[in-house]
Chain A
Amino acid sequence: MIPGLKKGQQLRILILAGGISHERDISLKSGRRVADALTDAGATVTFHEPDEHLFEYISKEKPDLIWPTLHGASGEDGSLRDILALTGVPFVGATADGARLAWDKSIAKILVQRAGIQTPASLTLPRETFRELNADSVLAQVAKHMTFPLVVKPARSGSAQGVTIVEDPAHLNRAMIDAYVYCDVAIIEKFVTGTELAISVINEGAGTIALPAVEIESTTGRFGYDERVVAGDTNYYVPARLEQGILEKAAKIAIKAHEELGLRHLSRVDLIVDASGVAWFLEANVAPGLTETSLLPQAIVATGATLAQVYLGIAEAAKAGRG
């Protein structure tokens, strides 16, 4: 228990972690770290899986608040949040609608673009398109009209799974297959060269704020699932090594995207800042990782605050219906 942090003693928080997803272990680690911080803040924390006994448990235990740390579709596509809303227990993070909009990167791109945020030009192609129009002819059109390199990625998926940077039109075919492994809709996006930033956005009830940007530097030129989660080929810088003015603009863009999508208490917005200082929106993460090595908690620590302070603030805001 951290001295001076007595407020959370009254809060009974249920953490939802695990689930059936390739990212289950990340979810469990995130859940345990959040639990540690909230326990330090004086809250009473319990865990549950999103399983057949969940709603019976919620009904019986009546927690004050639910904090989902679930990754993958079940935690991020809005469906579970819709059902959580039915229980009447407040929960941390995006509403079901917000999650749904952000989880589909093609929809998120349209919404933020309408709000005046720049996002790389892209095509959104369901798998059926290739069946109807013939894959070779569709890809020939893409190769003819779009400038390489391109990024091919699933419209709905997490942790950079199924993402390929395509330099050569001959490799587009394979990249599409790899993206469709994860989702029936794929995005082909113009590749923007620049500095990759992850900006975590939080709301503790007193307004949305951006945490210090984390700069991501891939030493291999890749930043796929392995590099993101398990391997050791990526360097991070907190704060990012860009001019203050550029970072401030990027922070405003991250806040705007977060609010436009309705992500409430926490999210992580991924941007690329090009050579001219323009920040391009790539995607917003509804359920950013909260493990000891995840970017959001690292950004909190970089502010000088403790995870206990900030997570308690988020929890209290969520319970009070703020944020």
Chain B
Amino acid sequence: MKRAMLAIALAAASVGALADRMPIPAGAPPAFKAECGSCHLPFPPALLAADDWRRVMNKLDRHYGDNASLDEKAHRQIGDFLVKNAGSSRKLGGAGGDPPRLTLTDWFRKEHDEVPASTWKDKRVGSAAHCGACHARAEQGSYRERELRVPGMEGKRHGRD
């Protein structure tokens, strides 16, 4: 019983942690931030499952409208890092898109189901991959609801916490 309670508490804590704090895991190769963080935020590896990261890495020459090919060493280092720190496919659900998009997992959609279409279309947001448009401290790996600054919703309370 105690063990079950602990398991539940740990599961709850990890769900919270996935939602609020997603710093770049220790052991990230320098190439991760340099390569994956030059056109967009270096996304938390936990936001895609291992198989989906593999699919992303296998199609870097067609990377959502850009060619993001890497040299062999950086490709291997980044790929290993992403797969090792990938999220749980059970928690995230499969990701839509080809290559898969971390903004199209069941988990991501559910977390953002309150965001109105007008916000996604807002010029200041532009793309669902622009985490920092609303998550003011996304660069620091923090996604707490109280830090939200949603364009067009300034001053409004937003969220479930």
Do A and B form a real pair? no
B interface, CB within 8 angstroms of A = none
